[in-house]
Amino acid sequence: MAERKTIINRIRELRFFAGEMSQQQLADRAGVSRQTIVAIEGNKYSPSLELAFRIADAFGVKIGEVFEYVNKGEEGHE
């Protein structure tokens, strides 16, 4: 049986290191609503691949530095 996996993100941490970028500023850069960023950041919604790339681009990093696909239960582990 395959292990269950989930997508986690580092959006809050990246916003902090980007000069405390607000959720609205990130939303504007990514072309979505602030509510979408809130849902993604809270792991309540997984973005499309295109949106994931736009979010990474907003921070000037590679997509793997924002999102990670991990085994369920490993959230919070590097």
Domains of the chain: 5-59 (1.10.260.40)
pLDDT average, residue stretch 40-68:
97
* Average pLDDT for the chain: 92
If pLDDT is split at 50, 70 and 90, which confidence band does 75 have?
low
- With beta carbons less than 8 A apart as the criterion, state whether 52 and 59 touch: no
Residues 6+ positions from 23 with CB-CB distance below 8 Å: 15, 34, 37, 38, 41
What's the predicted TM-score (pTM) here?
A: 0.86
Share of the chain above pLDDT 70, in %: 92
If pLDDT is split at 50, 70 and 90, which confidence band does 78 have?
very low
pLDDT higher than 70, residue 76 = no
Measured in degrees and rounded to the nearest 5, phi and psi for residue 68 equal: -140, 140
pLDDT higher than 90, residue 20 = yes
CA gap 30, 26 in Å, rounded: 6
